[in-house]
């Protein structure tokens, strides 16, 4: 693997380095530069933990021990080495001094370093070559198998006679527009965009060569028996799992809060779904499925009551559970596996939002695949994870983890047929490489350090919001964070502080089982004034859509917007600067709101797009939208529509067959009640289907659609989107329904 000039960092403690030792360091640095390595000047390290996080582009560290170092300097040295090894167990670390020996150096330091350099024993030329050799070895070990093979191929300079047709980017250079594209994305991305004809890169489709080596290495990192990279997101990962395990007429257990890809899988496989129903609070936040829904006796009762299941004795083929929910509710996976082992053939945890759980003790037992825990006896266990959501994968980077049961192992031949069914024969190699690298980043102590840092930043953000709220004058307002009271003390919270209980009031859920679920602290719901978790509207309020549009115009884009909340993800890429900038922007919004500044001043781009709001004050705009929400009681309406048990008229696959054969008609909202939908009807936010194909439309759903249409007409620019809702030529909103 080729790489650019190596960078060597020099560091020391707070005590100054003597003149003679400084001169020796200068000679060593000069020799390193002669060999092509970049030597960074000596840094006096006051905060070793902070310094350790700056070394990701360094190939080696030299710690300078001052002349006649005593116990105080050894204390600095111990702290420095601990900080480095807490985030990187492999980075070469050398000590540099005048008379350093094992007799005087602490044992806990000696066992963590690569070597000791005494300034006057060997020549600077020899020492520089030694350091460069160790730095080279370190860099050569950094790249995991597939990424190493890909970079070697891209750097080889061979002419490409295979697809894609841009031939390593040269086609783009034959056009002005293409040249812009080439300049933006760069040579490396385009040279590494190749097809599966390149044998030295291995095959994603049959898991051979460097791809297979990297998948095996990632499986070890994530504690799985098998791990497969997927290049079209966890939507595709979910469908691969289902098509490998589920057939027509199979009974399947599905979280009603599931991602639409699971519902698509039901339609594709012809399965018979039984839904496990979650609770919700009146602020629109999805809560957990009660523990009782996972009881095999309760599942059997639902099977007995289902009109389309003839043989009531069959074992459900698969359970798919959303782990965690969009809002951060995480289930006790270990308990669910124990409860349903043998009662369901396959246990599938959709961990699109939980790929980080393996790497921190806060989540122990709360994720599906874990080689440190007891295996299931009979049920095969899958986890599908979006490495692009919370780790460092490119968009669409996903992976499937498998853990064999004691008496049931994955049939890799059947699985790979399903994998081939859903995977392109022209996969994007940059996405595969990001799967490889994101897994490698989590290997060893580095993974734990990254997740602990993300948790810490989320905790600090929560504490900052709470502190600012406490500092407001009596009667004034500020934003809140949904979650348990966050102690003002430093450090991470205890696991017990994030577990949901029935006695707590903060979550607003009606049915919560003690010890069964927790809130993931890195998923932060920022709340705005105006609505409580029990659905009570205040006299005034700040709808979430107003704040999110303001923030977006000022460079802050959030993950999801609720009625009176914003959802913020603290991924491993979030920094102190980022979340402190968000808080600064929240302060700015508050000042503009309190002064009732005109919308055209607060949000000029939005005002240009929607001039009807331009001369309104920001507070006046919020008041009008809040009054409409309050008048329609939108919080309770948008909760109740999800709590009704759906009436199933057709299996989802049969309703979809009606769609594909043209046995549908587009029905206006006012005529929808009682009709059977042929499409997923999915409001955004929150992106959870109201109805699945084959279910009957209720009066309450019709009422919701009418209110949504009226709000969209009265407040253009502040309306949500409902997928499945069409528009006729005359502007009438319609839904595709099965012909009676």
Judgement on whether residues 430 and 470 belong to the same structural domain of the protein: no
Which residue among 443, 463, 479 closes a domain?
A: 443
Q: Which domain holds residue 498?
A: 447-617
Query: Does residue 706 fall inside a structural domain?
Result: yes
Buried-exposed string 585-616: b where 16+ CB fall within 10 A, e elsewhere: bbeebbebbeeeebbbebbeebbeebeebbeb
Q: What is the pLDDT of residue 105?
A: 87
Give which of 476, 454, 340 is closest to 389, Cα–Cα. 454
pLDDT for res 488: 58
Domain contains 633: no
The answer to whether residues 322 and 234 belong to one domain is: yes
Token code pair at residue 354: 């939980």
pLDDT at 1: 47
Question: Where does the pLDDT of residue 5 fall: very low under 50, low under 70, confident under 90, or very high at 90 and above?
Answer: low
What's the chain's average pLDDT?
92
Judge whether residue 261 has pLDDT over 60. Answer: yes
Average pLDDT over residues 26-31: 93
CATH classification of the domain holding 683 = 3.90.100.10
pLDDT in tens, 127-167: 999 999 999 999 999 999 999 999 988 887 666 677 888 88
List, in sequence order, every residue forming a beta bridge with 738; answer none if it has no partner: 664
Residue 452 included in any domain: yes
- Please report which confidence band the pLDDT of residue 98 belongs to, taking 50, 70 and 90 as the band edges: confident
Question: By the 8 A CB rule, do 512 and 502 touch?
Answer: yes
**b/e string for 425-454 if b means 16 or more Cβ within 10 A?**
eebbbbbbbbbbbbbbbbbeebbbbbbbbb
375 and 483 share one domain = no
Q: How much of the chain exceeds pLDDT 70, in percent?
A: 97
In a domain, 155, yes or no: no
**Domain CATH code at residue 424:** 3.40.640.10
Nearest alpha-carbon partner for 24 in 77, 51, 62: 62
| pLDDT surpassing 60 at residue 4 | no
pLDDT value at position 298? 97
- 460 and 425 fall within a common domain: no
685 and 698 part of one domain: yes
The residue among 405, 421, 130, 464 whose CA lies nearest residue 265 is 421
Q: What is the DSSP string of 288-330?
A: PPPGGGG-HHHHHHHHHH-TT-S-TTPPP-EEEEESS-TT-EE
**Looking at the structure, do residues 472 and 420 belong to the same domain, yes or no?**
no
Contact between residue 548 and residue 558 where contact means Cβ atoms under 8 Å apart = yes
Q: Average pLDDT, stretch 491-495?
A: 76
Does 121 lie in the same domain as 62?
A: yes
Measured distance CA(412)–CA(106) in Å, rounded: 51
Q: Decide if pLDDT at 530 tops 70.
A: yes
CATH of the domain at 130: 3.40.50.2300
Number of domains in the chain: 4
pLDDT above 90 coverage of the chain, percent:
80
Q: Is the pLDDT of residue 256 over 80?
A: yes
The mean per-residue pLDDT over the stretch 63-79 comes to 78
Alpha helix (H) residue ranges in 644-698: 652-660
**Is 157 within a domain?**
no
233 is written with which tokens? Answer: 């997101």
339-387 pLDDT tens trace: 999 999 999 999 999 999 999 999 999 999 999 999 999 999 999 999 9
Cα 513 from Cα 501, distance rounded (Å): 6
pLDDT value, residue 593? 98
List pLDDT tens digits, range 198-247. Answer: 888 888 999 999 999 999 999 999 999 999 999 999 999 999 999 999 99
Would you say residue 2 has pLDDT above 60?
no
Residue at which a domain ends, from 617, 635, 653? 617
Quick check: helix, strand or coil at residue 508? Answer: coil
In this structure, the answer to whether residues 362 and 469 fall within a common structural domain is no
Indicate whether 149 belongs to any domain: no
Instruction: Pick the last residue of a domain from 378, 412, 443.
Output: 443
Q: Are residues 479 and 508 in the same domain?
A: yes
Q: What is the pLDDT of residues 303-313, one digit of tens each?
A: 999 999 999 99
543 and 681 part of one domain? no
* Residue 206, domain member (yes or no): no
- Residues 165-178 have pLDDT tens digits of 888 899 999 999 99
If one compares 663 and 3, the residue with the highest pLDDT of the two is: 663
- Is residue 226 a part of any domain in this protein? yes
Peptide bond into 577 cis (omega under 30): no
Q: What is the mean pLDDT of residues 395-400?
A: 97
Same domain, 250 and 371: yes
693-736 residue pLDDT tens: 999 999 999 999 999 999 999 999 998 889 999 888 888 899 99
Give pTM, 2 decimals: 0.93
CA dihedral 227→228→229→231, nearest 10 degrees, is -140
Q: Tell me the β-bridge partners of 252.
A: 273, 318
Q: Judge if 264 and 281 occupy the same domain.
A: yes
């Amino acid at each position: 693997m080729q790489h650019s000039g190596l960078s060597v960092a020099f560091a020391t403690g707070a005590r100054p380095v003597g003149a003679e030792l400084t001169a020796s360091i200068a000679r060593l640095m000069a020799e390193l530069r002669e060999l092509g390595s970049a030597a960074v000047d000596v840094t006096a390290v006051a905060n070793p933990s902070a310094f350790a996080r700056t070394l990701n582009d360094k190939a080696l560290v030299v710690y300078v021990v001052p002349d006649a170092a005593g116990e105080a300097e050894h204390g600095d040295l111990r702290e420095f080495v601990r900080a480095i090894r807490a985030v990187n167990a492999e980075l070469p670390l050398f000590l540099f001094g005048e008379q350093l020996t094992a007799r005087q150096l602490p044992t806990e330091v000696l066992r963590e370093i690569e070597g000791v350099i005494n300034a006057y024993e060997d020549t600077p030329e020899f020492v520089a070559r030694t350091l460069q050799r160790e730095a080279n070895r370190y860099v050569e070990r950094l790249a995991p198998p597939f990424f190493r093979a890909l970079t070697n191929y891209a750097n080889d300079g061979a002419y490409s006679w295979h697809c894609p047709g841009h031939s390593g980017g040269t086609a783009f250079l034959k056009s002005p527009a293409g040249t812009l594209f080439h300049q933006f994305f760069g040579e490396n991305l385009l040279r590494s965009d190749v097809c599966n004809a390149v044998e030295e890169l291995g095959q994603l489709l049959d898991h051979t060569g460097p791809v297979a080596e990297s998948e095996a290495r990632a499986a070890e990192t994530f504690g799985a028996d098998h791990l497969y990279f997927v290049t079209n997101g966890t939507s595709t990962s979910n469908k691969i799992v289902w098509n490998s395990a589920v057939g027509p007429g199979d009974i399947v257990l599905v979280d009603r809060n599931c991602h639409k890809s699971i519902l698509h899988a039901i339609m594709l496989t012809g399965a018979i779904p039984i839904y496990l129903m979650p609770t919700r609070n009146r602020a629109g936040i999805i809560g957990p499925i009660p523990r009782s829904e996972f009881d095999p006796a309760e599942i059997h009762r639902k099977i007995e009551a289902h009109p389309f299941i003839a043989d009531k004795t069959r074992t459900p083929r698969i359970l798919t559970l959303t782990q965690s929910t969009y809002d951060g509710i995480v289930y006790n996976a270990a308990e669910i596996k124990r409860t349903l082992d043998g009662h369901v053939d396959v246990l599938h945890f959709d961990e699109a939002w939980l790929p980080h759980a393996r790497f921190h003790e806060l989540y122990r037992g709360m994720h599906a695949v874990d080689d440190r825990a007891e295996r299931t006896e009979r049920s095969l266990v899958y986890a599908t994870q979006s490495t692009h959501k919370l780790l460092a994968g490119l968009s669409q980077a996903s992976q499937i983890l498998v853990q064999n049961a004691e008496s049931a192992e994955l049939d890799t031949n059947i699985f790979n047929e399903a994998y081939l069914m859903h995977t392109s024969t022209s996969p994007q190699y940059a996405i595969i490489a990001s799967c490889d690298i994101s897994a490698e980043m989590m290997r060893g102590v580095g993974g734990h350090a990254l997740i602990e840092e993300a948790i810490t930043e989320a905790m600090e953000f929560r504490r900052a919001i709470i502190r600012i709220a406490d500092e407001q004058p009596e009667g004034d307002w500020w934003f809140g964070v949904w979650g348990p009271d966050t102690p003002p003390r430093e450090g991470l919270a205890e696991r017990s502080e994030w577990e949901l209980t029935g006695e707590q009031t903060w979550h607003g859920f009606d049915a919560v089982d003690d010890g069964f679920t927790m809130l993931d602290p890195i998923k932060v719901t920022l709340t705005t004034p105006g609505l409580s978790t029990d659905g009570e509207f205040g006299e005034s309020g700040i709808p979430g859509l107003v704040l999110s549009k303001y923030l977006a115009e000022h460079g802050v884009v959030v993950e999801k917007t609720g009625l009176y909340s914003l959802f913020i993800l603290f991924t491993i890429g979030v920094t102190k600067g980022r979340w402190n900038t968000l808080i600064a922007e929240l302060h700015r919004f508050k000042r503009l709101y309190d002064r009732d500044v005109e919308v055209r001043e607060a949000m000029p781009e939005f005002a240009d797009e929607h001039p009807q709001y331009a001369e309104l004050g920001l507070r006046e705009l919020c008041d009008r939208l809040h009054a409409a929400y309050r008048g329609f009681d939108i919080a309770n309406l948008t909760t109740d529509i999800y709590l009704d048990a759906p009436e199933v008229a057709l299996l989802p696959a049969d309703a979809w067959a009606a769609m594909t054969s043209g046995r549908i008609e587009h029905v206006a909202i006012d005529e929808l009640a009682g009709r059977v939908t042929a499409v997923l009807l999915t409001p955004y936010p929150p992106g959870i289907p109201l109805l699945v194909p084959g279910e009957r439309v209720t009066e309450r759903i019709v009422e919701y659609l009418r209110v949504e249409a009226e709000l969209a007409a009265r407040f253009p620019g502040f309306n949500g989107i409902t997928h499945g809702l069409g528009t006729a030529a005359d502007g009438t909103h319609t839904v595709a329904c099965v012909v009676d």
